[in-house]
Structure formats: structure tokens, C-alpha cells
Amino acid sequence: MRALAVEDDAEVAAAHVAMTASRNHGRPWAKRMSLRELVVDLRAPSTMERLEPWVALVDGEVAGLALQWFPLLDNTRFTWGEVDVHPRLRRRGAGGALVEQLVERTREEGRSTVLVESHVPDDAGEDHPHVRFAAKHGFAHANTEIRRILELPLAASRLEELAAGAASRHVDYRVESYVKRLPQELRQSYCDCWNQLAVDAPTGDVEFEPESLSPETYQEELDRMAEQGRTMIHTVAIGPAGEVVAYNDLVLSRDDPDEVMQWGTLVRREHRGHRLGMAVKVRGLQELARVAPEAKRVQTCNAEQNAHMVGVNEELGFVRVEALLAYQRHVD
């Protein structure tokens, strides 16, 4: 086990193969990260977080990849980790070595908690290998989200019906979509809204603080996404004072055009009760149909205790396919 040689094209490609095989194993709906997207993550520095990649070798072959993020502007007591091992090379110690490296690096950096996530079947129990692996390495279950998928296309008439049903509840608000970037005058209030998601969305036993996205780091992330071949569709609800009070983000990938990720949706607490969640989601799907009519699916994850947003998703037609389990380990 050692640091990934991020400038070595062949080793990065081998790590991408292991990661992709791991994430696709038994998951036909898995969203694929392209090699280009991974390379940009590995080689383009960020002012928001530092990424450390590690590989485990089995008989000289890259068997697994661990990615560990160190937030730099907020939530600095955490690290976030992802661990993937090629199914063909599992049960050879690679996963355990990678997980323990994440824990050790968290300790060395003076941080208190390492967070990881694992995808499991919707009905997985305590005997599932991923659940047993987490427990073996001292990780406690902290939260459960459910992944849901919406098959496309949706009938335009159905989206118009849903939009009309919500419109009477928010006559004092404007709902608008922007492809690739928001206009300058909306960026600060969008960032203010986006930063609340970590504390407003249910996160189980994990306690986050507000995040620190700014217009400057927002532009940095847009530049990174453009380099990765990704396009963002921002849909926002604008309140009477001209500020963003709700948003929905959809992300398209040039390397995987069939699959669309719904990254986040939030309505500010003081503006709830106007069906703005439904409004921004419907408007986003209408814009998606215009921009990328070839897209076949939208994926999203929500905590089950987020009953309102789950209800909106189900009304739109999202169907649950698996659970996403969050685990945390506190470091001595």
C-alpha cells in the first residue's frame, strides 16, 4: 500500500479500472466516473479541500484505490474517504490496508473523525459483507440514505401539470434555470443557500457545520467541472428581494451522457411551505429535456427521515434502488 503516482498515466488508469469494477459490481445503475474526471480530481488542486489518493497492490497489480479528502475551509475535524477494491482481488487484505491508512492519516493530521460511505442492496442486513467490513474496522453506522432513480423521458404534459399545481403557492417568487453558470448577481445568495445544505439536510449521527462556498470558490468549481466535461444545470427560486431562496442542481457528464446526477436541493427554512422544492425540481427537469434530450436517468439520494423531499421525488416518479450507508470512526 502506497500513495498513488498521480502523474503516472498508466498507474492512474489501472486505479480507475479497479475503482470502476468495484463500483459497478452488482450495481447496474452505478454512475460511472470517467478516467478524465478522475484525472482532473487527482491533478487539479482545490482551495476548498485537499485530496490524497492511495493504492493497494496485490502481486504487483493495482487492486484497490482509496481517495481521502481533507476539507480546508470548514468541517476541518473530518476527513472523507472512499475505498474501492476490484472484486477479483478482494479478500486479500487490500481493503483493510486502505481503510486503516485513512484512519492513520486522519490521526496524523490532528482530525477527529473519518467518514466513509457504502452502497448496499435496499434490504441488506447486518450480515452483508460491507456492513461486516465496516464493523470489523471500528466504524459505526451514522446515517442511511436511499438512492432513487427517475427514468427519462418524462411526459412534458406531466411536468407542466406538476409545475402548474405548485405555481399558485409561490406567486411572489421567480423560478429560473441556468446552464453552466449563474449570473453574477445571484452567486452570493446561491452560495449562502448551498452552504446550509450540510446542516439542514438530515445527517443522522454526523454533525456538520455550514460549508463555506463563496462566489470565488464557486467559479473555481465551475472551471474544474468544465475540465472534467461536466455541465451544471442550476435551477433557482428567487424571492421577492431578488435573492436565491431555493435551488436544485443537475450535473451532466460528457463521458456518460445517459446518466444525470442530482447533486443537491434546498429550500431556505423561512421560505418553505410554497412548494418551491417541487417547483425547482420540475423546472430543472424541463431544462434537462431541452439541453440533453438523450439523457436516460436521473439519480438522487435522500435520507429517509427527509419526508418532504422524499415525497417530492416519489411524486415525480423516482424509484428506490439501494441504500447508501454512512459510517464514522472517531480517532483517538
Condensed to tens digits (0 to 9), the pLDDT of residues 114-167 reads: 999 999 998 888 899 999 999 999 999 999 999 999 999 999 999 999 999 999
Q: What is the CATH number of the domain that holds 239?
A: 3.40.630.30
Quick one: 50 and 174 in the same domain? no
Mean pLDDT along residues 60-82: 97
Q: Does a structural domain hold residue 331?
A: no
Q: What mean pLDDT do residues 216-221 have?
A: 97
Q: Are residues 183 and 65 part of one domain?
A: no
Asked if residue 104 and residue 191 are part of one domain, the reply reads no
Alpha helices per DSSP H over 201-262: 215-228
Q: Is the pTM of this model over 0.75?
A: yes
Chain CA centroid to CA 249, Å: 11
- Kindly indicate the confidence band of residue 203, based on its pLDDT and cuts at 50, 70 and 90: confident
Q: Average pLDDT in the 196-214 region? A: 89
Least confident of 139-148, 194-203, 267-276: 194-203
- One domain for residues 94 and 156: no
Q: Residue 90 falls within a domain, yes or no?
A: yes
Task: Tell whether 42 is covered by a domain.
Answer: yes
How is residue 35 written as a grid cell? 478516467
Q: Is residue 332 part of a domain?
A: no
- Whether residues 179 and 49 share a domain: the answer is no
Residue 252: pLDDT band by 50, 70, 90 thresholds? Answer: very high
**DSSP letters of 283-323?**
HHHHHHHHH-TT--EEEEEEETT-HHHHHHHHHHT-EEEEE
Question: Residue 151's beta-bridge partner residues?
Answer: 297
Domain assignment present for 134: no
Last residue of a domain, one of 63, 87, 111: 111
For residue 133, tell me if it sits in a domain: no
Q: 118 in a domain, yes or no?
A: no
What is the total count of domains within the chain? Answer: 2
If asked whether residues 69 and 155 sit together in one domain, one would say no
Task: Please check whether residues 38 and 96 belong to one and the same domain.
Answer: yes
In sequence order, which residues have a C-beta less than 8 Å from that of residue 104 and are 6 or more positions away? none
Distance of CA 245 to the CA centre of its chain: 21
Q: Which three cell numbers stand for residue 190?
A: 446561491
User: Is the domain of 155 the same as that of 94?
Assistant: no
Query: Does residue 53 fall inside a structural domain?
Result: yes
Expressed as residue numbers, the domain containing 65 is 2-111
